[in-house]
Structure 1
């Protein structure tokens, strides 16, 4: 298995991947606690730093690029600083951002976290401010997104639908992508936070336990309910594989053949920060499948990738070099 996984790590760097979904800017405003305000019983922070980090589908793009896949980002951004900065960050990682359609009528989806800390205090988030337009895409913007997809999808080795519930992956777009990928035998994976049962015909599904539980309508409490949920999603969507990530309990892969594989975490004692780890799993999984890996090998490789990023603070990525090292150490 070790050599098989190492071979996949090498091959993924030759794969063209399209990531379609909700492009999110995670903004971190850093400050040091100065004093209590005279105007209201609130802290005054002295601003020290502002960072923009790719979130949502943009984080899948970022992870794919970090693994040296050739990635096309497809989504919608505004004319604001957040959209410009996301485009710059992703372009600097050699991602193709021509598919980021600018909509002058809506802001880039932005989640701003106000982070406070002092010399003798722990840095912590004190409030989050979300900015996004809740309405559906306009007919023209949806048409522009779909036109870009149609022009490039046939050249892809793999496609990701990253749906965070912010309207980018419309019913028309998801149906077109699923149908095209099936016709052209292109691996396609979906990670949908709220709407997974709409993705009938998709090849691969990635969910965490809580998302899978919401999809099937009952709590996942033990192996019996886990197996039931995985098989229900697999059958209802006519998928080839379903991967459910289970935090400290690893992952469980369900295949259409009936095979169920439990994959334990690779670094249980060192889990630090799971932020964005699901996006890492999706990026690694689609790259591996695009490189010709089996569903099990692709899932195992994505498990190694997740094990690396959870050791890093915040939304993080991993590299082929780190993957090779983690695989080598595991099989020593």
Structure 2
């Protein structure tokens, strides 16, 4: 069984006091971020009625947005704090991959270590929301294991 650990009292105060100094060192940090990446997409609007075709809400769309998701979000956060993140991941050969690369470049994260696997889509997590309420989440992803060729390409990166 794992022992629970807490930082309290004086230890916590010391840790918080050292935080600015630790942040100064972050621009020197270089990280390799390896993992699943994708786009977090949002469709925002209001539900004002139920569809006459089926008992489902009808969303009147007000806005749409997309952001870096999963490990791409981690790499973006490292970059926003002044570190350098090298992102190693697999994307599809699709428009979502193009959008993801553009967002990575805007976040100053290099997309050069991305492997393209045309047999799978780039992961997208679409959230449809009415105000603060999630109506539905739609996942566009391929959950099968990577092919041996794609796996070897990742290892070579």
Tell me the secondary structure at the aligned position of residue 52 of structure 1.
strand
1:82 and 2:96 aligned = yes
1:43 maps to which residue?
Answer: 57
Given the alignment, which residue of 29, 40, 49 partners 1:15?
29
1:126 maps to 135
Q: 1:25 aligns with which of 36, 39, 45?
A: 39
Does the CA-based 8 Å contact 1:29-1:47 persist in structure 2?
A: yes
The change in CA–CA distance for 1:3 and 1:39 in structure 2 (over 3 A counts) is closer
3-state SS in 1 of match to 2:143: coil
Match of 1:57 among 51, 61, 71: 71
**Cα displacement (A) at 1:3:** 5.7
User: Unmatched 5+ residue regions in structure 1?
Assistant: 118-122, 149-332
| 2:116 equivalent to 1:102 | yes
**Structure 1 position 84, deviation (Å):** 2.0
Residues 79 and 47 (structure 1 numbering): CA distance in 2 closer, same or farther, change over 3 Å?
Answer: farther
Classify the secondary structure of the residue corresponding to 2:47. strand
Separation in structure 2 between the aligned mates of residue 50 and residue 24 of structure 1, nearest angstrom? 16
- What SS does the corresponding residue of 1:12 show, helix, strand or coil? helix
Which residue matches 2:154?
145
Deviations 1:51-85 (A, max 9, x none): 11222111111111111101111101112333222
TM, length-normalised to structure 2:
0.83
Q: C-alpha distance in 2, partners of 1:53/1:75? A: 17
Structure 1 residues 137 and 128, CA gap change in structure 2 (3 angstroms): same
User: What's the RMSD between the two structures over aligned residues?
Assistant: 1.6
C-alpha separation between the residues in 2 aligned to 1:32 and 1:115?
8
Structure 2: gaps spanning 5 or more residues: 1-13
Q: Hey, what's the Cα distance between the residues in 1 that align with 2:87 and 2:63?
A: 27
- CA offset digits 1:146-188 (Å, max 9, x no partner): 111xxxxxxxxxxxxxxxxxxxxxxxxxxxxxxxxxxxxxxxx
Structure with larger RCO (C-alpha < 8 A, sep 6+):
2
Distance in 2 between residues matched to 1:43 and 1:147, nearest whole Å: 48
Distance 1:108 1:50 in 2: 19
Q: Identify, as 1 or 2, the structure richer in strand.
A: 2
Give the SS at the match of 1:38.
coil
Q: How many residues align?
A: 143
- Bigger drift between 83-92 and 98-107 goes to 83-92
Question: 1:219-238 counterparts in 2 under 5 A?
Answer: none
Spell out, residue by residue over 1:200-253, the C-alpha distance to the aligned partner (whole angstroms, 9 max, x if none).
xxxxxxxxxxxxxxxxxxxxxxxxxxxxxxxxxxxxxxxxxxxxxxxxxxxxxx
The CA deviation at 1:37 is: 1.3
